[in-house]
Amino acid sequence: MKSNNVLASIEAMVFAAGDPVEPSKLAEVLNIDVENVIKMLGHLQASYDERNSGLRLIRIDGKYQLCTREEYSDEVRGLLEIKKNTPLSQAAFEVLAIVAYNKTVTRSFIEQIRGVDCSGPVSNLVQKGLIEEKGRLDLPGRPLVYGTTDRFLRCFSLNSLEDLPDLPEEAEQKDDSQTSLFDSDDKKDEILKENTENPDGEVTEE
Amino acid sequence: MKSNNVLASIEAMVFAAGDPVEPSKLAEVLNIDVENVIKMLGHLQASYDERNSGLRLIRIDGKYQLCTREEYSDEVRGLLEIKKNTPLSQAAFEVLAIVAYNKTVTRSFIEQIRGVDCSGPVSNLVQKGLIEEKGRLDLPGRPLVYGTTDRFLRCFSLNSLEDLPDLPEEAEQKDDSQTSLFDSDDKKDEILKENTENPDGEVTEE
Amino acid sequence: MEQINYKIDVFEGPMDLLLHLISKHKLDINDIPIIELVNQYVDYVRQMQEQDFDVAGEFLEMAARLIYIKTVSLLPKHEEAEILKKELTGELIEYRDCKLMAEKLSHQTEGFDRFVRPAQEGYVNYSYERFHEGEELLNAYISAAGRGKRKLPPPIDSFKVIVAKKFVAVATKVNTVMRKLWSGKKVKFLSLFEDAQTKSDMVATFLAVLELAKTKRISIDGSIENPSVQIVNEVKDIEK
């Protein structure tokens, strides 16, 4: 490998790693001396600075990491704020609802109900602070259990999980006279209105 | 802000975002025209290529993302201790093809074409981030609808779904009595024309 | 017939197997010779069973479907058969295209060698800050869980019965029917079905009768409501 390519491959590795990387690890992968790697990292560092890149290569504790240059932190923050404020996806809403209505659940429980892998929405909700890990189940594999957070209660203006709107299935047990699929639309509106006092209504249709 | 600095701040933002970024969002933060941002992104793209960087700026579905150059995949895998790609299974490729060519589909649609249960490959592709939920159909059972992701486009080097490869000529010629799911639009017109002489043609669609 | 020695895992399902048989025997996908295809297919499925493969339900389902198409195409008026055949042809073409596209995709995977990274940390607190109504959660829950009765996928065990069910071959039924008629006496058509234990038993028996009638080894007469069947055989003729 030419030295130019070594430089580029170091750049690629440091980029993909995200976290700070030890030069010795890079040396191991490339099968070259650590001194050589450190020299290359120096070149890389200089080249980012010379061309006034928006990025820089920093050294922390002998490890190296790519990050944005502090001059642009306002812009970076601005962009990330916009991204952060994208509303919850339908998938995230459903996962959140399953966690909330069941208080504590494992991911596989959520996936069983939804019929699809839910690792994406689950970690998204954890990042947003709406659900959190509540421990592990004493089962093979010791699966993590998730529950909702105080932030969740605030975002949905709830005092506690007891305040969640009643589920229609409980309603069906109490009173199944209203479960017909053929309820007329205005009937449905009525039911929706009444739902606060009379949670028996059929509200499953959109 | 000088144009050089605009370039650097765009670089910083795209880097920090991780995911593909819409030029409109960059424009919003910088308070400049989208056209200008897109021009800058073009410059940035060229500068990564010219200096043989280990990174490149790619365009996916009108969005921009920084990623490592494929030449250095072995080194990156080595560092991240990722095994060489377990290639996708035949089933996974088939499911991807169906989802990609039809844009959004339910699992039962996929299963209808493949004639076998597809919950395994579908879940697997969701987990790999190559397809994702796009909502639910307003039908009994509220079936999930799947579509491809930006990651899918990146992994298959596509700018958008419009870039998907066409059907091979050979295949198109033989089956002109049937409307295939994968026909391009002008092909379909042809078939419609022919169908007048051959009214038995289309019986597979619901 | 040549020894069939496929490996089951080569096929993605019945459609895949059918496409394989069509190309192997150079059949015209736009005008499938259904009887030939049924025979090939059923032979293959039987091979799978003989080799102790855990034959998936889908393969048997397709066998039943093919046999049904074959049955109706043996009827004097076979418009239904034509429609069913067209339907199958359409599905096969769709699936063939799907395979072609899958093949194409599988040749452009260099993008899997590009790596990205997660968003840079430390700039933004990602805590959610929007406000919602509780109703939105209720609706989301109903969407996810259906009406609280959404059927979870049935456990694998529940398929055992179906998968393990013996697939009745028409060939064996031909022997059974012939044995019953061997005496040369007229036998009530319906009586042939008396010891049928399963639906596929009955279908196979019926097909066997049709096959035998077609090859003029038996004759069918009597009223439509209560036909009878008799062997047409040289031995009997000589005895006369």
| ipTM for the predicted complex | 0.76
For residue C208, what is the enclosing H or E element?
A: helix C199-214
pLDDT digits (tens, 9 = 90+) for A9-19: 999 999 999 99
pLDDT confidence tier of residue A1, bands split at 50, 70 and 90: low
Distance, in Å, from the CA atom of B52 to the CA atom of B59, rounded to the nearest integer, reads 18
Q: Does B10 contact chain A (CB < 8 Å)? A: yes
Q: In what order do the strands lie in the sheet with B105-106?
A: B105-106, B144-148, B131-136
* Greater pLDDT, A101 or C236: A101
Which amino acid type is present at position C32? I
Nearest CA in chain A to B130: A120
* Greater pLDDT, C116 or A173: C116
Neighbours of C52 (CB within 10 A): 7
- Cβ contact A62:A73 at 8 Å: no
Instruction: Return the bridge partners of A63, or none.
Output: A60
Which amino acid type is present at position C6? Y
Structure tokens at C140: 């989301």
pLDDT at B85: 66
pLDDT confidence tier of residue B185, bands split at 50, 70 and 90: very low
pLDDT at C145: 80
Structure tokens at C106: 């599988």
Sign of CA pseudo-dihedral C196, C202, C206, C212: negative
Sign of CA pseudo-dihedral A52, A53, A54, A56: negative
What Rg, from alpha-carbon coordinates, does chain C have? 27
pLDDT at A70: 92
Q: Does A11 contact chain C (CB < 8 Å)? A: no
pLDDT at C152: 47
- The least confident of A93-102, C34-43, C139-148 is C139-148
If you average pLDDT over every residue of chain A, what do you get? 82
Structure tokens at A171: 């309603």
Neighbours of A114 (CB within 10 A): 20
pLDDT at C235: 45
Task: Report how far apart the first and last C-alpha atoms of chain A are (Å, whole number).
Answer: 62
Q: Would the CB atoms of B55 and A12 count as touching at under 8 Å?
A: yes
Distance to chain B for A62, nearest Cα, Å: 17
Highest mean pLDDT: which of A72-76, B189-193, C202-206? A72-76
* Greater pLDDT, C223 or B128: B128
pLDDT confidence tier of residue C211, bands split at 50, 70 and 90: confident
Distance, in Å, from the CA atom of A118 to the CA atom of A124, rounded to the nearest integer, reads 10
* Greater pLDDT, A204 or B142: B142
pLDDT digits (tens, 9 = 90+) for B138-154: 887 788 999 999 999 99
Q: Would the CB atoms of A168 and C147 count as touching at under 8 Å?
A: yes
pLDDT at C233: 58
- Cβ contact B68:A15 at 8 Å: yes
pLDDT confidence tier of residue C173, bands split at 50, 70 and 90: confident
Phi, psi values for residue C156, rounded to 5°: -50, -40
Which amino acid type is present at position A11? E
What is A83-140 written as a DSSP string? HHTSPPPHHHHHHHHHHHHHSSEEHHHHHHHHTS--HHHHHHHHHTTSEEEEEE-SST
Structure tokens at C205: 């028996």
- The least confident of A155-169, C43-57, C167-181 is C167-181
**pLDDT of C189 higher than 50:** yes
If you average pLDDT over every residue of chain C, what do you get? 78
| Mutation target among C27, C83, C105 for the B interface, most CBs of B within 10 A | C105
